[in-house]
Structure 1
Amino acid sequence: MTSEPHNSPATLYGPASLLFGVLGLVATLFAGVVGGGIPLLTASLAITFALLGLGRGMNRAQCVTGLVAGGIPLAWLVIALTTVTV
């Protein structure tokens, strides 16, 4: 069984997920329902990188934190968009 090298680009999935998750949380605080594009993009990237990192089994704690931090803005946007009436 081969193990992946520690200098592989896959080791950056955890930190990237965490970074995009935190950016999504911050963008959600400053963007209203109208400006939901940036939080949606950053949350989607955080979730994608977290799932890729968890699939590789590297930096699990950062990936799980990024997954949660990316899921919160995504859930907030879905709830906000479904409850707002035009």
Structure 2
Amino acid sequence: MTAEATDSPASLYGVVSLVLGAVALVAAVFVGYAGVAIPLLCGSLAVTFATLGLVKRSNRGQCVIGLVTGGLAVLWLVLFLAAFGG
């Protein structure tokens, strides 16, 4: 039996970024109901965790999807506010 742990908290970056990116994208589409803070916060965190996961090279597919969905949510929110906020 070894004393080393094979799992680390860094292995969850992909999962967290994927979930936060999906939440941010759904909240960005329904920004009238969800408000501005939820998609902005979740999208920013999804991009951050995806970047950390890509640097650590763990769950790269999930990190890329989290990066794309989080980035799209933030971009959608910025474009929405630029078009209709004023």
Q: How does 1:1-80 map to 2 (within 5 A)?
A: 6-32=6-32, 35-80=35-80
> Which runs of 5 or more residues in structure 1 are unaligned?
none
> Which runs of 5 or more residues in structure 2 are unaligned?
none
Instruction: State how many pairs are aligned.
Output: 82
Moved over 4 A (4+): none
CA distance in 2, matches of 1:7, 1:75: 34
Render the CA deviation track for 1:48-80: whole Å, top value 9, x for unaligned: 000000000110000000000101110011111
- Which SS does the other structure have where 1:32 is aligned? helix
Deviation at 1:30, TM superposition (A): 2.0
Identity level (%)? 51
TM-score by length of 1: 0.86
Deviation at 1:43, TM superposition (A): 0.2
TM-score by length of 2: 0.86
Whichever structure has more helix as a proportion of its residues is 2
- Which SS does the other structure have where 2:32 is aligned? coil
Aligned alpha-carbon RMSD (Å): 1.8
